[in-house]
Chains A and B, each alone.
Chain A
Amino acid sequence: MKVLKKPKSIYDIFERKGGNAPKLTHYCAGCGHGIIHKLIGEVMDELEIQERSVMISPVGCAVFAYYYFNCGNVQTAHGRAPAVGTAISRAEKNSIVMSYQGDGDLASIGLNETMQSANRGEKLAVFFVNNTVYGMTGGQMAPTTLIGEKTITSQTGRDPLYAGYPMHMCELLDNLEAPVFIERVSLATPKSIRKAKIAIKKALKIQKEGKGYTFVEFLSPCPTNLKMDAEKSKEFIINQMEKEFPIKRFRDKSKEVEAIIRNKSDFSIENLDKIFGIDRSSDMEPVKDPNYNITNIKIAGFGGQGVLSAGLTLAQAACAEKKFVSWYPAYGPEQRGGTANCSVVIAGETIGSPVVDRPDVLIALNRPALERFAVEVKKRGTIFYDSRVGDFDCPEGVRCISVPVYEIANSQGVPKAINTAMLGVLMEFGKQSNNVLSNESFYQGITETFISKPKLIDKNIEILEAGAEWAKKNLNIKSKNKNKI
Chain B
Amino acid sequence: MTKSKSKPQPYPIIYKNECKACERCIIGCKQEALKLSEDINDHGYHYVKYTGENCNGCGDCYYTCPEPLAIEVHIPKKKKSEKKSGKNPNLEMR
Contacts and interface: CB of A to CB of B under 8 A. Distances in A.
Interface of A: 1-7, 10, 12, 21, 23-25, 27-35, 37-39, 41, 68, 189-191, 193-194, 197, 223, 229-231, 234
Contact of B67 (A24, A189, A191, A194): A24
A234 B60 CA distance: 15
Interface in B38-83: 43, 45, 58-69, 72-77
B28 A34 contact: no
Contacts of A229: 23
Interface string B8-50: 1000000101101111100110000000000000010100000
A30 B20 CA distance: 8
A1 B18 contact: no
B67 A5 contact: no
8 shortest interchain CB distances as A-B pairs: A34-B66, A30-B22, A190-B60, A29-B20, A29-B22, A5-B72, A4-B73, A2-B75
Nearest to B59: A4
B62 A2 contact: no
B67 A3 contact: no
Contacts of B27: 230-231, 234
A230 B34 CA distance: 15
Contact of B24 (A30, A68, A197): A30
B94 interface: yes
Contact of A3 (B22, B66, B68, B91): B91
A231 B21 CA distance: 13
B22 A223 contact: yes
11 contacts: A4-B72, A5-B62, A5-B73, A23-B17, A24-B43, A34-B65, A38-B63, A68-B68, A194-B63, A231-B23, A234-B24
B85 interface: yes
Contacts, number: 105
A27 B94 CA distance: 27
A41 B59 contact: no
A282 B15 CA distance: 73
B92 A32 contact: no
A266 to B, nearest CB: 44
A39 B64 CA distance: 10
Contact of A190 (B63, B66, B72): B63
Contact of B64 (A10, A24, A29, A190): A190
B69 A23 contact: yes
Contacts of B75: 1-4
A24 B17 CA distance: 8
Nearest to B43: A21
B66 A33 contact: yes
Given A25-B66, A31-B22, 4 more contacts: A25-B68, A30-B23, A190-B59, A234-B24
Contacts of B15: 23
Contacts of A6: 68-69, 72
Given A1-B92, A4-B73, A234-B27, A24 B65 contact: no
B68 A41 contact: yes
Nearest to A193: B63
B21 A29 contact: yes
A480 B23 CA distance: 95
A24 B65 CA distance: 12
Contacts of B62: 4-5
Contact of A38 (B8, B68, B74): B68
In the complex, which of the residues A5, A25, A32, A189 has the most CB atoms of chain B within 10 Å of its own CB atom?
A5
Interface centre among A4, A33, A37, A38 (most CB of B within 10 A): A4
A65 to B, nearest CB: 12
Nearest to B72: A5
A32 B58 CA distance: 20
A234 B15 CA distance: 24
A288 B90 CA distance: 74
A6 B92 CA distance: 15
A32 B21 CA distance: 14
Contacts of B60: 190-191
B68 A10 contact: yes
A2 to B, nearest CB: 4
Contacts of A35: 63-66
A5 B71 CA distance: 7
Contacts of A197: 63
Nearest to A234: B27
A29 B65 CA distance: 10
A37 B64 contact: no
Nearest to A188: B64
B45 to A, nearest CB: 8
Q: Which of A1, A25, A35, A231 has the most CB of B within 10 A?
A: A1
A31 B66 contact: yes
Given A6-B68, A24-B43, A34-B66, A230 B59 contact: no
A23 to B, nearest CB: 5
Contacts of A223: 22
Contacts of A30: 20, 22-24, 66
Contacts of A1: 8, 74-77, 85, 91-92
